[in-house]
């Protein structure tokens, strides 16, 4: 499978944050999905891969990163 796409710059604080442990204790379902998606971004998965896994749009996934970075 050939991967194509745009390389994004992820802030250092984002890479150090423990989204997975927050995901495990979050009571709100939507927030849990967002935290899981952000955890996948940390692992290096593409927005399209994450979108398919979580059944959301790839623009939704990129929006999570933008919202987290602000």
Q: Mind listing the pLDDT tens digit for each residue in 2-53?
A: 456 667 777 778 888 999 999 999 999 999 999 999 999 999 899 999 999 9
The span from the CA of 64 to the CA of 55, in Å, is: 14
The span from the CA of 30 to the CA of 7, in Å, is: 27
The DSSP code for 56 is S
Phi, psi (rounded to 5 degrees) for 7? -85, 135
Residue 70 has what pLDDT? 74
Residue 5 has what pLDDT? 66
Q: Enumerate long-range contacts of 15-21, CB under 8 Å, 24 or more apart.
A: 15/42, 17/42
Residue 4 has what pLDDT? 60
């Amino acid at each position: 499978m050939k991967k194509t796409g745009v390389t994004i710059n992820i802030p250092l604080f984002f890479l150090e944050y423990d989204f997975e442990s927050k995901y495990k204790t979050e009571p709100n379902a939507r927030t849990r999905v967002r935290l899981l998606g952000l955890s996948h971004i940390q692992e290096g998965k593409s927005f399209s891969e994450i979108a398919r896994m979580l059944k959301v749009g790839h623009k939704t996934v990129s929006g999570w990163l933008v919202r987290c970075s602000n």
